[in-house]
Amino acid sequence: MLCDNDAVYLESRQHHRGVTYDYDWQAVVEQVEEEEGRRRRNFSFLKSSQSFDRHQKQKMKATGGGDEETPLLGYRYEGEEDGLQDRPPSSQMVEEAKVQLELGVPVVLMSLLDFSVQVISVAFVGSLGALNLAGAAMASSFANVFGFAILEGLAGGMETSGGQAYGSGQPLLLGYLLQRGQFILIMFCLPISLLYLYAAWVLRHWGQDYEIAALAGQYVMYLLPGLFATALMLPVAKFLQVQGVTKPLAAISCSVLIFHAPVCWFYIHALDMGLVGAAMANSTSNILTLLLLVLFLNFERSGILERSWPGWSLAAFNNLWPFLELALPACAMTSFEWWVWEIIQIMAGWLPHPEISVSAMTICFQTAGLCYMLPLGLGTAASIRVSNELGAQKPRKARLAVIVAIILATAAGGFCSLVLFSVRRSWASVFIDPAETMVIQEFVDVVPILAVSIIGIAWNASLSGILRGSGQQWAGSIVNNLALYGVSLPLAYVFGVKMQMGLQGLWLGMMTGVILQLVGQFGLTGKTDWEYQATRALETVRSNSDQTETKSVD
């Protein structure tokens, strides 16, 4: 705080050498005092973090859960970012790319394997005929729009809060965030379940074909057990990812994928459950994933639970709002984006010959989704890196992570587009009986537009991860909604339905909106003040730990 002599001095300077200067010295005093207060709060919080760090190292040494010489607190004072300024840019970028690939490749594999579970289910249903394929596709769209997209978005809040907590040296806070995340996701599952039970009625009132809506309603009901398993599983996956533990997740997903194909055959053919057997197989695989994650955490030997699990505690529910403050915009950012793609699927049902158009659009979505898995995994790695570095007060390294993430996304999108264009006709036969030539041709006609869209989708995945990692979900959500709902959907409806351009028109409208979305996301990222975001990260960690810090060290 400024003393009285300082104030007198400032006042005297207003009349220096007989000249009167027109400024308010009192405002200067208030500004300096506010800055001093902010620095004092940050210093106090860092001291408590360092104390917490010492407690954690003592605990880990006693339990054999970690190396005493490995600092848990990642904080570095400004200008001290591991000699970053002393190394050439190319060396910095190569090193950062290695870190992101080490994090991202297992996440990519996990995403590909998880998505392959859906592809296998769709392939099994496709063998039952075009009508069953259309029903399963419509059900998957409905389930994603009103269920899994919401859960995935809410869990995305842990990438920001959890990544920043871990980067700032408070791993025990992750355990409380995990419990909060599971509680919140389960609460959201309750109203979602009611909507699932009335899926057929809702789809019929949206103008869908009666038979397709009836089949979709049956399919969605058998996805309910998997919905609750996913609500418990997603926070656990984020809990591990923000700590850089990604390889076991890929191994678990691989195990589930191997298990899934025989389970599909067993439910669909051995038990003669038909269409709903595929849905039951999906739920079974989700439950198995959750069980394997729990087993891994209880039997792994690297000390994950010792350093980051405080035990079940009501303290985890004392401070829900800071988590929701990040989770809700992350949910909006992810969910609204998913929803617009699923609405396009519904529009495909309004085209002439809906069995053909919906089936072809299903192949398009499965293909785009599969290609999306590569940049999505890299985007998750980017989110983790950005949030970790901001939590550790290293804004320059966060900025470097952003540049590298965009370069990797460009390479991933270009690779996927080239491969798709090369194998477009044979690829369609994976999803549908080769005798369904009209469906295959409809897909082949859309591929040129789809291939270009995939590059934009790759950039979108990376930029969305960057915005999540830096806590800018609200801004990202606004950009997404304006571009997708203000441009993509209206143009898709006009081109595809009104102008009767079919699936090509739907995708052309979507691609136009994606381009505008990217312009907005690049603008947000380019104008980000990373030093300010590092300060915000410190405030976020403090607000999340206010109610739990004392209990976590007792």
pLDDT tens digits for 311-327?
888 877 877 887 888 78
- pLDDT of res. 38: 52
Answer yes or no: is 37 within a domain. Answer: no
Please give the average per-residue pLDDT across 116-143, as a whole number. Answer: 84
Residue type, 381: A
State the DSSP H helix or E strand holding residue 457, giving kind and residue range, or none if neither: helix 437-469
Higher-confidence residue of 319 and 546: namely 319
In this predicted structure, the answer to whether residue 409 has a pLDDT above a threshold of 50 is yes
Q: Which of 31-40, 395-404, 500-509 has the lowest mean pLDDT?
A: 31-40
In this predicted structure, the answer to whether residue 397 has a pLDDT above a threshold of 60 is yes
Answer yes or no: is 40 within a domain. Answer: no
The token pair that represents 270 in the structure block: 């051995």
- pLDDT of res. 363: 86
In this predicted structure, the answer to whether residue 541 has a pLDDT above a threshold of 90 is no
d(CA 387, CA 381): 10
In this predicted structure, the answer to whether residue 19 has a pLDDT above a threshold of 90 is no
By CB atoms closer than 10 A (0-12, 13-18, 19+), residue 484 is buried
In this predicted structure, the answer to whether residue 80 has a pLDDT above a threshold of 80 is no
Answer yes or no: is 470 within a domain. Answer: yes
Model-level pTM?
Answer: 0.70
Of all residues in the chain, what percent carry a pLDDT higher than 70?
82
Answer yes or no: is 126 within a domain. Answer: yes
- pLDDT of res. 84: 55
- pLDDT of res. 339: 79
- pLDDT of res. 112: 79
By CB atoms closer than 10 A (0-12, 13-18, 19+), residue 512 is middle
Cβ proximity of 75 and 393 under 8 Å: yes
Answer yes or no: is 259 within a domain. Answer: yes
Answer yes or no: is 417 within a domain. Answer: yes
Tally of domains within the chain: 1
Alpha-carbon Rg for the chain in angstroms: 26
Whole domain around residue 534: which residue ranges?
91-539
Answer yes or no: is 24 within a domain. Answer: no
In this predicted structure, the answer to whether residue 205 has a pLDDT above a threshold of 70 is yes
For the stretch 233-257, pLDDT in tens is: 999 999 998 888 888 998 999 999 9
Please give the average per-residue pLDDT across 446-452, as a whole number. Answer: 90
Answer yes or no: is 263 within a domain. Answer: yes
Of all residues in the chain, what percent carry a pLDDT higher than 90?
32
Please, which pLDDT band fits residue 85 given cuts at 50, 70 and 90? Answer: low
Query: Rounded to whole angstroms, what are the CA distances from 465 to 231, 382, 384?
Result: 21, 6, 8
Please, which pLDDT band fits residue 429 given cuts at 50, 70 and 90? Answer: confident
d(CA 448, CA 249): 34
What's phi and psi for 290, nearest 5 deg?
A: -60, -45
For the stretch 328-350, pLDDT in tens is: 887 887 778 777 877 887 788 88
Higher-confidence residue of 306 and 491: namely 491
Please give the average per-residue pLDDT across 440-460, as a whole number. Answer: 90
